[in-house]
Amino acid sequence: MIQIDALPAFSDNYIWLLQDTAKRRCAVVDPGDAGPVERWLAANPDWALSDILITHHHNDHVGGVERLKQLTGARVCGPANERIPCRDLALGEGDQLDVLGVTFQVLAVPGHTLGHIAFFSDQPATPLLFSGDTLFAAGCGRMFEGTAEQMQPALARLAALPAQTEVYCAHEYTLSNLRFAQAVEPTNPYVQQRFDDVTRLRADNRISLPSTIGLERLTNPFLRTSETLVKQKADEWKGHSNPTHVAVFAALRSWKDTF
């Protein structure tokens, strides 16, 4: 069993810290800043950092890699089709990766960036997904490099994972994402309940993650392109009919970009 904690970074990033408490080994996901990891290791000097997992090349996800590599010698694992500093292991669709005794499957999920990957494991009692900036709690990443034709199927693929899968995304965007979800589905009771719950959490400065795939299916408009009301709202926004899931997704993403 591994324990997972969040190390906050910058204004709204989370660096995920995976811990094997029996062997005093740990791994981190997307360390955009070395500082939070360094401070944790300094406070826990009997622990060793064994692995650094990277989902994509943006600096707020890789900025701390070189420093942590120099400090610990940890193995750096990241997408094969992106430039990742100090990468030891290049990963792509279908690869498997053993981290702290847990086997992760590598999923190609392009859209936010062209080479973006996610890490999924159904080996623990509760399945785990590290989704980077592809799937957010109640939202999804902007398409900086990819297209809707790439990103919508990638999100649909993640939505098809087991409902109990815990979703560890890289940013605390949940409340703003839920405000958009309310605009898309104002009568969705699950969205309203989640908005109320997350509002309370954030008022206490508490983290809103992890989510679950089941909760995302109920509340994340970008996973709900087959819902009649979601399509109607997308059509209203664009001023014309959007006949496919990809078109509905593209309309929602363009709306969210200016929301």
pLDDT digit string, tens, across residues 20-41: 999 999 999 999 999 999 999 9
Report field, pTM of the whole predicted structure over 0.75: yes
Has 122 been annotated as catalytic? no
- Cβ 64 vs Cβ 34: under 8 Å: yes
Has 61 been annotated as catalytic? yes
The per-residue pLDDT for 100 is 97
Has 116 been annotated as catalytic? no
Once rounded to an integer, what is the mean pLDDT over residues 206-212?
98
Has 245 been annotated as catalytic? no
The per-residue pLDDT for 125 is 85
Q: Is the pLDDT of residue 123 over 90?
A: no
- Catalytic residue (one of 112, 204, 240, 257): 112
Domain with residue 57: its CATH number is 3.60.15.10
The per-residue pLDDT for 1 is 79
The per-residue pLDDT for 115 is 98
- Distance, first Cα to last Cα, the chain: 41
Has 46 been annotated as catalytic? no
Q: Is the pLDDT of residue 124 over 80?
A: no
- Catalytic residue (one of 20, 51, 57, 61): 61
Domain count within the chain: 1
Q: Is the pLDDT of residue 184 over 90?
A: yes
Q: What share of the chain in percent tops pLDDT 70? A: 100
Q: How far apart are CA 49 and CA 59, in angstroms?
A: 21
The per-residue pLDDT for 81 is 96
Whole domain around residue 204: which residue ranges? Answer: 3-257
Listed in sequence order, the residues at least 6 apart from 80 whose beta carbon sits closer than 8 Å to its beta carbon are 90, 91, 92, 115
Average pLDDT of the chain? 97
- Catalytic residue (one of 30, 33, 51, 56): 56
Q: When comparing pLDDT for 79 and 124, which is higher?
A: 79
- Catalytic residue (one of 58, 88, 196, 245): 58
- Catalytic residue (one of 116, 133, 196, 240): 133
pLDDT digit string, tens, across residues 134-181: 999 999 999 999 999 999 999 999 999 999 999 999 999 999 999 999
Q: Is the pLDDT of residue 13 over 80?
A: yes
